[in-house]
Amino acid sequence: MIEQNVISGHAPGHLRDRFLELLKAGEYGAESNALAGKLWNCTDIIAGSDCNWLDVQVRSTYAQLARRIRSAG
């Protein structure tokens, strides 16, 4: 299910940063799920160090991570 207010292309940094904060803290709840919905089509690239930490391929996008989080949910 795709949320309303899905961002296509570049997403604001505060949304991307909060999404990563939640994931790094192991908080896979309502807020991270809502942010995954907003970042569903975000083409911004995740920093390499964050990709390593999250165990995703380097140069992954936030959309790829959002879809991974949603499918695991």
3-state per-residue secondary structure call for 30-51: HHHHHHHHHCCEECCECCHHHH
Q: What is the pTM of this model?
A: 0.85
CA distance 7 to 36: 10
Ranges assigned E (strand) in the chain: 8-9, 41-42
User: Which residues are bridge partners to 9 per DSSP?
Assistant: 42
Per-residue pLDDT tens over the stretch 22-50: 999 999 899 999 999 999 999 999 999 99
pLDDT at 73 over 50: yes
